[in-house]
Amino acid sequence: MDSVFLQAAWIWRPQVLGVQLRPYSLGHQYALRALESPYLCAGAPTIIDTALAVWVCSRAWCDLRSMPFESIDAARQWSQTAYRRFKRAGHPMDTEMATFAAYFDHYTGNLPQHWQGSEHKPRVRCPIEWHLVVTLLQSGLCERDLAAAWDMPVSTAAALATVIGERNGSESYFDERDRADIQELNRREEIEKVAQRMESGNG
């Protein structure tokens, strides 16, 4: 079985900065994107960025809905307080950041991949999180419950959307065997290019 689907079924909830994280969800990703977190945008995350991400990822969607407008200051204040508390207690900050990075990678580092195709496709302007939420709602998996869709782990939502697409006739998903074939093809093409350059040099 493709590791994408094995990992999508595995829930991991580590503690970071003394806080129990929830499974990394579509709502978490959307909130972090709204906050321009370095975990989703350009830049290297600091311990304060990590503390803010912990604040986000320890909450359900119903608690996050007002965050970009009303609770952002409270979130940043909590981040500063959590950092200072752990620093005074002598906890290694590198370990906390590494645990959160592993948590983030668990839910986002092995998502289904799809063929892009050469045919013209309309430009996607809406956030990918909204596309996945609508897919879950239309399929009936969340029983028209918007909060349940936003609380769905990112890896699970992506896997379900892939299966829904395949059941509806899509052939864009490629599994580990396909990826291995592509890597082998790229390797052979690179060898041929090197051989051609050598022949040109000898000529």
**Tens of pLDDT, residues 7-20:** 778 889 999 988 89
The pLDDT value given to residue 144: 58
Sign of the four-CA dihedral 94, 35, 26, 54: positive
Q: Answer whether residue 28 shows pLDDT above 90.
A: yes
Average confidence (pLDDT) over 91-98: 88
| Pair 97, 46: CB distance under 8 Å | no
Label residue 192 by pLDDT band (50, 70, 90). confident
61 to 30, 57, 100, 149: CA distances (angstroms): 10, 10, 19, 9
Query: What's this model's pTM, rounded to 2 decimal places?
Result: 0.73
**Weakest-pLDDT range from 97-111, 152-166, 188-202:** 188-202
Three-state DSSP at 20 gives: strand
Which is nearest to 38 in space by CA: 97, 125, 111, 110? 97
* Domain residue limits, the chain: 3-108, 125-202
Q: Answer whether residue 68 shows pLDDT above 60.
A: no
Which is nearest to 12 in space by CA: 146, 136, 156? 156
**Tens of pLDDT, residues 121-164:** 556 667 778 888 888 887 776 655 878 888 888 988 888 888 88
